[in-house]
Chain A
Amino acid sequence: MGTNPLLKVDSIHAYYGNIHALHGISLHIDEGEIVTLIGSNGAGKTTIIRSISGIMHPREGSILLDGEPIHQVPAHALVSKGISQSPEGRRIFPRLTVLDNLEMGAFHRNDRPGIKADIEMVYGLFPRLKERTKQYAGTLSGGEQQMLAMGRALMARPRLLLLDEPSMGLAPVLVENIFEIIQRINKQGMTVLLVEQNALMALEVANRGYVLQSGRIVLADSAQNLIQNEMVRKVYLGEN
């Protein structure tokens, strides 16, 4: 184990105009972990993902990848440093084919054979995408688009994979499937930051979790402990 975590977020403050969305968020992700962010709508989960991936830059605080500050690095340059994501709302390219979407995921790479092999790998994970390889991505169903967004993120061969609600809009069977896939790629060594509406399932696959309330972390613990935590059970796992 190295001394540095793979990712270290240190008291970041993020704003949308005057709206103060993140109030000093600190968290870390070690190599090989699955870490999950839990919080109700508007808590700031997506904002954390967007800050880590450079889509927005925190006004205060720092983000370190392998000890190197990345909070001022533009988003496009972070992909080759090893961060990719399946964003909230999927954001696939509707008028590009499924195959071209996957190719865009590998934009920073030049190893043709490796890219080809990874396309096959993604098609292995999501056989539905393979059947639709020449189709415009905009014509896919919502669930298929979600698979594409995740496959596209994998095409970057990231060290840290950011998943913002990857099971959104999927049928229950497919949700199970997605969580299985997340575990499988994690076992192969990929580090994952997972944001999920389905907190229970997220905690079942995760090593650790952070509970977020209006832009602040209110609880940080191992996933097992969080599942047992009374407040978590009440508020996020829907127990009464």
Chain B
Amino acid sequence: MDLELQFFIGQIIVGLTIGSYLALIALGYTMVYGIVELINFAHGDLFAFGFFISLTIFTAINPPRPLDVVGLLTILPLIFVITMLLTGGLNTLIDRVAYKPLRNAPKLAPLLTAVGVSFALEAIYAIWVGANQVPYPNYFPRIDILRQWFGLDTAIQLTTKDLFLFGVTIPLMIGLNFFIERTKIGKAMRASAQDREAAAMMGINVNRIIATTFFIGGALAGAAGLVWGLYINSGRFLMGFEAGLMAFTSAVLGGIGNIRGAVLGAFIIGMIKSMSDFYFEPSWTRVMIFGILILLLVFRPSGILGSTQSIEKI
């Protein structure tokens, strides 16, 4: 195969990996916005929390590196569950303390509070893990599948880590979609997003639904932090800021408040980042992504699939 084509396919795989972890973060932005119309600027920092807290747990358990089969089937799922519970719980707590008292205040108030929460979390991380790049050890075994398993002579890299990343993120997205579309609580979430007062008239405890939304959003960001740590093996106290901005752009691109839009937007942004990093220069990538954000906000604030808010506020 033509080498250029192999590089291109390789970058598509990279784009998909970036897209799938961004999607998990973007979902949290979009779900929270859908229900309380708040751009939760601190959301990216929940992703960072997932990264650091799972690293802390790994360090405490100190399993073999990489994990053996038993570890992959026991320790890894356990750390996943704990990380998601903790990030979900933290997000719910943040809502309870910082946003809930402002639920009926002008929208700028919770928005500024969210920026404040973000700064506070980042400062806490800086003290907790330091200001330098933090290594995340290679707990997940990396095998170059096409070459090592299939003996192909190719420049395309598809590793077990890629499969792991997809294997975690895609089922979570499908699971979330099922939850929101099919379950009673999921429907109550959509009902609350469409008309909070009418939802209360139906007997839905909207405050509890909002807390649940923050919990799920946080848990997904936490899962993203954990898989990203295992995948990329390094991070920094500010990593949530950057990932958050990209995920936020993804959510706006797809149509903020729109669940499927967030996933679609994340994969588009992931692809743009991957291609721009490779064919132009990483420093141009930000210009491009934030250029897209600005153009969107100016010309099509409802995104590709349409912001649900604009449709639901009939």
Q: Could you mark each residue 202-239 of chain A with 1 if its beta carbon is under 8 Å from any beta carbon of chain B, else 0?
A: 00000000000000000000000000000000000000
Of B58-66, B190-198, B228-236, B288-296, the one contacting chain A is B190-198
Binds A, one of B5-13, B201-209, B266-274: B201-209
Q: Complex formed: what's the CA distance from A195 to B308 in Å?
A: 32
User: In the docked arrangement, what's the CA distance between A54 and B202, Å?
Assistant: 12
Residues of A within 8 A of B312 (CB): 94-95
Is chain B's interface secondary structure helix, strand, loop, or mixed overall? Answer: helix
Residues of A within 8 A of B200 (CB): 54-55, 74-76
A156 on the B face (CB < 8 A): yes
Q: Which residues of B contact A95 (CB under 8 A)?
A: 190, 194, 308, 311-312
Residues of B within 8 A of A77 (CB): 203, 205
B interface size (C-beta, 8 A): 21
Stretch at the interface among A6-14, A16-24, A98-106: A98-106
For residue B184, which residues in chain A have a CB less than 8 angstroms away from its CB? 103, 107
Taking a contact as CB atoms closer than 8 A, the residue among B188, B197, B314 that contacts A94 in the complex is B314
Whether A62 sits at the interface, judged by CB under 8 Å, is no
The answer to whether A80 and B202 touch across the interface, beta carbons within 8 angstroms, is no
Chain A interface size band reads: 20 to 34
Give the CA-CA distance A78 to B13 in the complex, in Å: 53
Instruction: Kindly name the residue among B199, B201, B311 whose own CB sees the greatest number of chain A CB atoms within 10 A.
Output: B201
B190/A79 in contact, CB under 8 A: no
User: How many angstroms between the C-alpha atoms of A41 and B112 in the bound complex?
Assistant: 40
Q: Within 8 Å of chain B (Cβ to Cβ): is A167? A: no
With A103-B184, A138-B314 already in contact, the answer to whether A93 and B190 are too (CB < 8 A) is yes
Binding site for B on A (CB under 8 A): 53-55, 74-80, 84-85, 87, 91-96, 100, 103-105, 107-108, 138, 152, 156
Q: A74-B200, A100-B187 are in contact. List 17 more A-B contacts (CB 8 A).
A: A55-B197, A75-B197, A75-B200, A87-B198, A87-B201, A91-B195, A91-B201, A93-B190, A93-B198, A94-B312, A95-B311, A96-B187, A96-B190, A104-B187, A104-B202, A107-B184, A107-B202
- Partner-A contacts on B (CB < 8 A): 184, 187-188, 190-191, 194-195, 197-206, 308, 311-312, 314
